[in-house]
Amino acid sequence: APPRRHSKAENAGASVIRFLETIESDLASNLAKLETKESDAKSNYIKLSSENTAMRSGTQTVLKRDVREDKSLRNTLSEVHTDQDTEAEELSSVDEYWARLKSRCIGKADSFEE
């Protein structure tokens, strides 16, 4: 039996080209979607960074105010303790003086035996 002869396939190149064009179209579509996602992520990042900067600035302002208030309260408390100690010393001095005055000015009752 004689060998079969191979015949040239018609339109074989066209189907390969259509297949490659489909792949190119899919890749372009996927690239566009990825670029959109990247753009959205970048704008979200910029927005979040801006919010964080504003929040950090506000937090630092509050912290500085709280530190100043704490320092002021500590100073006031120290002054109050100093005033309290001074007042206690003055009160002790007045009590001692009062005790001496009472012993000098208030006469003792005479006993019945005299």
pTM: 0.48
Rounded to 5°, the CA angle 6-8-11 comes to 145
Q: Is 9 left (phi over 0), alpha (psi -120 to 50) or beta?
A: beta
DSSP 8-state assignment for residue 5: P
Residues 47, 66: Cα–Cα separation, whole Å: 28
Q: Which two tokens stand for residue 62?
A: 């509050």
Q: Which of 6-15, 48-57, 59-68, 88-97 has the lowest mean pLDDT?
A: 6-15
- pLDDT confidence of 1, banded at 50, 70, 90? low
Between CA 44 and CA 40 the distance in angstroms is: 6
